[in-house]
């Protein structure tokens, strides 16, 4: 019996070591912005689905941690982020979603983050953004990029199946709620977030949709229909009530371009973090990461676009600004300027 147990342990250990060796080879290749094979993508996505499927709707995270906003396929700027903020596994990271679309390297960006998640699941947390969606990625670049780089729909399908399993929120030391977009009038408590069936394509409406699409607005009270065509605008009273009910210190989110890299709202009850510098290779914004220490005191690391990205700029990158007067469909783009150099964009 002991011999059988020992043999089983050896086989399990060998499989684990082989798996880590595969993951290390994936990471090494992806860090050089080189694609892994389609079969390796499938294997990586299968492993990721096992891990992500076991996570809660609100994944618990311990401080200290570095919080990052939208990346949007800007691979070389993701590399710069790690150079400035520290590398996994030596630093804990929480990414607030929108890993893909817009930038030129969504495939490499998402696969690198996914490989790091599978290799170091306790060191990196991924939250789903509104772009981790089949409908949105077919409009804003990720689908086309997968087809161009792999010549088939399979990689896109593998990745979108992973999207469906990514958690929709995280909570740091039971005090800081992290989401991609914002709050929902259908969600008053954290228990209601736990009750959401997240393992689906992003719905057209409802609490999950709202959490991925909504935005804070300094100029309103209560709730207002969002000009994005999905989600809501919410005011300070909504945030104060939600934080008081759920005993939260603050809410951290992404989803909106900020020229200065981050912006506080509602007397530091909400913070927007943006981590894609020179967004769409044309906005000339800086990017930031929020660092929370063991006491949940916050500080920010500001960084510029990676120098190497200059040679990868494209005049055909997606135009950023679209102006109009009426609300639009769920999967359309909305942009307008806001006060204090804060740009309000569907990204």
**Dihedral (Cα; 327, 135, 70, 298), 10-degree rounding:** 80
Helices (H) and strands (E) in the chain, counts: 10, 16
Name the residue among 60, 185, 173 with its Cα closest to residue 127. Answer: 60
How far is the C-alpha of 187 from the C-alpha of 127, rounded, in Å?
Answer: 18
Name the residue among 253, 249, 285 with its Cα closest to residue 267. Answer: 249
Contact call for residues 241 and 251 (beta carbons, < 8 A): no
Helix (H) / strand (E) containing 21? helix 2-30
CA distances (Å), origin 247, targets 57, 171, 173, 175, 242:
18, 12, 11, 7, 8
Joined together, the tokens standing for residue 277 give 């510098």
Name the residue among 105, 96, 140 with its Cα closest to residue 273. Answer: 96
Joined together, the tokens standing for residue 268 give 């530091």
Residue 131 annotated among the catalytic residues of the structure: yes
Catalytic one of 131, 180, 265, 330: 131
Helix (H) / strand (E) containing 39? helix 38-53
The DSSP line for 281-300 is GTS---EEEEEE-TT--EEE
Contact call for residues 316 and 110 (beta carbons, < 8 A): no
Task: Please identify every residue annotated as catalytic.
Answer: 131
């Amino acid at each position: 019996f002991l011999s059988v147990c020992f043999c089983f342990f050896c086989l399990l250990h060998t499989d684990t070591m082989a798996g880590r060796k595969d993951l290390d080879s994936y990471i090494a290749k992806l860090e050089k912005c080189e694609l892994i094979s389609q079969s390796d993508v499938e294997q990586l996505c299968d492993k990721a689905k096992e891990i992500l499927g076991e996570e809660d709707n609100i994944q618990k995270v311990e401080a200290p941690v570095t919080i990052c906003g939208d990346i949007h396929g800007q691979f070389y700027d993701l590399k710069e982020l790690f150079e400035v903020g520290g590398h996994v596994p030596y630093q804990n990271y929480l990414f607030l979603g929108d890993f893909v679309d817009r930038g030129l390297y969504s495939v490499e960006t998402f696969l690198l983050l996914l490989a790091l998640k599978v290799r170091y699941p306790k060191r990196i947390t991924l939250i789903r953004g509104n772009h981790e969606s089949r409908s949105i990625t077919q409009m804003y670049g990720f689908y086309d990029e997968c087809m161009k780089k792999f010549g088939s729909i399979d990689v896109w399908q593998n990745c979108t199946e992973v999207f469906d399993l990514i958690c929709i929120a995280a909570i740091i030391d039971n005090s800081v709620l992290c989401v991609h977009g914002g709050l929902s009038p259908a969600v008053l408590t954290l228990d209601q977030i736990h009750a959401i069936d997240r393992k689906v394509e992003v719905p057209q409406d409802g609490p999950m949709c709202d959490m991925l699409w909504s935005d804070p607005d300094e100029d309103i009270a209560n709730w207002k229909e969002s000009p994005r065509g999905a989600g809501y605008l919410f005011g300070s009273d909504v945030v104060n009530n939600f934080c008081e009910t759920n005993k939260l210190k603050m809410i951290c989110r992404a989803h909106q371009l900020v020229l200065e890299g981050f912006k506080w709202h509602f007397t530091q009850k909400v913070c927007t973090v943006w981590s894609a510098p020179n967004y769409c290779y044309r906005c000339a914004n800086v990017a930031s990461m929020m660092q929370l220490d063991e006491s949940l005191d916050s500080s920010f690391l500001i960084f510029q676009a990676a120098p190497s990205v200059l040679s990868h700029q494209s005049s055909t990158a997606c135009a950023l600004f679209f102006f109009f007067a009426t609300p639009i469909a769920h999967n359309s783009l909305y942009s307008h300027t806001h006060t204090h150099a804060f740009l309000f964009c569907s990204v």
